[in-house]
Amino acid sequence: MILHCVFLRFKAALQSADKQAIFEAVAALKDVIPGIVDVKYGPNVSPEGLNGGFVDGFTVTFEDAAARDTYLVHPEHVVVGERIVNATDGGLAGILVFDLLI
């Protein structure tokens, strides 16, 4: 399985309801894109202070790398991805993606 971790630096002006709507849109991809096992999201709760400004994030668990690769180019993911880029501080600079083989 692949654990796709996405950490975000949302724009300061973004409202909590807007963040929630983005996270719900990510979670809804599970019903549209095959191979998604689980989606989790929320704020960073680590007390270490090592988040580098990435204070929100989500994870998507995929059955395998092929499912992840399908997700990356899926039109529904592209739409949600553009929405995320537009909501983050610095666009792509406000997003950190890290995939783990689990």
Work out whether the CA dihedral 28, 24, 76, 3 comes out positive or negative: negative
Identify the three-state secondary structure at position 43.
Answer: strand
* pLDDT at 50 (0 to 100): 97
Predicted structure pTM score: 0.96
Tell me if residue 35 falls in helix, strand or coil. Answer: coil
- pLDDT digit string, tens, across residues 8-52: 999 999 999 999 999 999 999 999 999 999 999 999 999 999 999
Rounded distance between C-alpha atoms, residue 77 and residue 36, angstroms = 12
Cα 70 to Cα 21: distance, rounded to the nearest angstrom: 23
d(CA 89, CA 102): 30
